Amino acid sequence: MYKVVERRMIVPNMHEFTVLAPAVAESVKPGNFIIVRPDASGERIPLSVADWDREAGTVTSIFMQVGASTAKLARLKPGDSVPTFVGPLGRETVIDKFGTVLLVGGCYGIGSIYPTARALKEAGNKVVTLIEARSSFLLFWEDKLARASDKVLVITRDGTKGQKGHVSRIPEMMQRAGIVPDLVIVNGCTFQMMQVSRLTKPLGWKTIVNMNPIMIDGTGMCGVCRLTVGGKTKFACVDGPDFDGHEIDWEEFLARRKTYNPEEVDPLRRSTCRSHF
Ligand code: FES
């Protein structure tokens, strides 16, 4: 059993989740993920790693409550335990001296982009971090990201902070700031990663995305996480989760991602309804 050190909602529907798992904390790297089960009968949930403390032996993830399984995670309290906490899984993000790196984070990716920013800065890159949300009240970890970046830019869809709009504003924002990235790395929801990849392709900006498919074992055995990259079948859990965003078959990936939406969301809807009576 793994002890929950912290589980708190940091912005609506988004939770910071820290677990005592010294073996994972010892070797985790930016871009890795873990698989957690909230209880003995629960599903295996893959979560990107957002931070760790090797001395304390803790690992932190940010997750969004979207369905029945993440609702169970969201009910955990400090001091509770989870039966499964496996990791670090997947290949780590390649950290090198690239020059200027634009990191784009949205949703839970605002958290998981943080260790990548920190490592790239330590490697001597100029790190420009851009975070995006529907509104300013959905942003988090801005102070942590500012410490790990040379510049932090914000886009909110309602204009309550930073640039008003969507990630489609990135090229003009970069032009205004006089930035031509040598590499773009995107962490966040599938749609955002797809949009950024489609924007950067004609500009010739190499773009790495940290993919988030449905997973079961996380070790290349079940095949559930497969996706097509450059016309070839890959498994996100062992070949990724980082891939070249310009080579992914996004339509296929989006369709596979939605496969279990009814099974995931309907039980939540039923249990939420019951709680009102
Ligand atoms: Fe089973 Fe990747 S999660 S093969």
**Cα 5 to ligand 1 centroid, rounded to whole Å:** 28
Structure tokens at 254: 């989006």
* Residue 218 CA, closest ligand 1 atom number: 3
∠132-137-139 over CA atoms, to 5°?
A: 40
**Cα 109 to ligand 1 centroid, rounded to whole Å:** 21
End-to-end Cα distance, the chain: 34
Beta bridge partners of 49: 61
Which residue out of 224, 229, 239, 257 has the highest number of ligand 1 atoms within 8 Å of its CB and is therefore the one to mutate?
224
Select from 33, 68, 89 the last residue of a domain. Answer: 89
> Is residue 105, in this structure, part of any structural domain at all?
yes
Q: Are residues 59 and 104 in the same domain?
A: no
> Is residue 240, in this structure, part of any structural domain at all?
yes
d(CA 95, CA 116): 8
- Asked if residue 233 has its Cβ within 6 Å of ligand 1, the reply is no
Q: Are residues 154 and 204 in the same domain?
A: yes
**pLDDT value at 124 more than 90:** yes
- The domain that holds 245 is classified in CATH as 3.40.50.80
Q: Are residues 110 and 221 in the same domain?
A: yes
The pLDDT score that the predictor gives to residue 255 is 87
* Residue 238 CA, closest ligand 1 atom number: 2
Which residue out of 34, 36, 221, 257 has the highest number of ligand 1 atoms within 8 Å of its CB and is therefore the one to mutate?
221
- Asked if residue 237 has its Cβ within 6 Å of ligand 1, the reply is yes
∠186-90-152 over CA atoms, to 5°?
A: 25
d(CA 153, CA 117): 13
Structure tokens at 240: 């990724």
Structure tokens at 42: 């629960």
Q: Are residues 164 and 74 in the same domain?
A: no
- Asked if residue 223 has its Cβ within 6 Å of ligand 1, the reply is yes
**pLDDT value at 209 more than 90:** yes
Q: Are residues 109 and 197 in the same domain?
A: yes
The pLDDT score that the predictor gives to residue 269 is 52
Q: Are residues 147 and 198 in the same domain?
A: yes
Which phi and psi (to 5°) does residue 56 adopt?
-80, -15
**Cα 40 to ligand 1 centroid, rounded to whole Å:** 20
Which residue out of 45, 211, 215 has the highest number of ligand 1 atoms within 8 Å of its CB and is therefore the one to mutate?
215
Q: Are residues 114 and 221 in the same domain?
A: yes
d(CA 247, CA 74): 35
Quick one: which of 51, 55, 68, 69 has its CA closest to 6?
A: 51
Reported as a single tens digit per residue, the pLDDT across 219-264 is: 999 999 999 999 999 999 999 999 999 999 999 999 887 766 655 5
- Asked if residue 12 has its Cβ within 6 Å of ligand 1, the reply is no
> Is residue 263, in this structure, part of any structural domain at all?
no
Instruction: Report the nearest-CA residue for atom 4 of ligand 1.
Output: 220
Q: Are residues 130 and 200 in the same domain?
A: yes
d(CA 122, CA 204): 26
Reported as a single tens digit per residue, the pLDDT across 42-92 is: 889 999 999 999 999 999 999 999 888 899 999 999 999 999 999 999 999
Strands (E), the chain: 2-11, 14-20, 33-37, 45-53, 58-64, 81-82, 84-89, 100-106, 126-133, 151-156, 163-164, 183-187, 207-210, 226-229, 232-235, 242-244
The pLDDT score that the predictor gives to residue 276 is 31
Domain that holds residue 162: 100-257
Instruction: Give percent of the chain above pLDDT 90.
Output: 87
* Residue 222 CA, closest ligand 1 atom number: 1
- The domain that holds 35 is classified in CATH as 2.40.30.10
Q: Identify the residue with better confidence: 260 or 105.
A: 105
> Is residue 124, in this structure, part of any structural domain at all?
yes
> Is residue 268, in this structure, part of any structural domain at all?
no
Q: Are residues 108 and 69 in the same domain?
A: no
> Is residue 267, in this structure, part of any structural domain at all?
no
- What is the average per-residue pLDDT within 169-193? 95
Banded pLDDT at 270 (limits 50, 70, 90): low
> Is residue 226, in this structure, part of any structural domain at all?
yes
Cβ atoms of residues 243 and 229 within 8 Å: yes
**pLDDT value at 272 more than 70:** no
> Is residue 264, in this structure, part of any structural domain at all?
no
d(CA 18, CA 59): 5
Cβ atoms of residues 36 and 48 within 8 Å: no
**Cα 240 to ligand 1 centroid, rounded to whole Å:** 11
Q: Are residues 105 and 238 in the same domain?
A: yes
Q: Are residues 189 and 210 in the same domain?
A: yes
* Domain tally, the chain: 2
Select from 89, 120, 146 the last residue of a domain. Answer: 89
Q: Are residues 109 and 173 in the same domain?
A: yes
235: three-class secondary structure by DSSP: strand
Select from 32, 58, 89 the last residue of a domain. Answer: 89
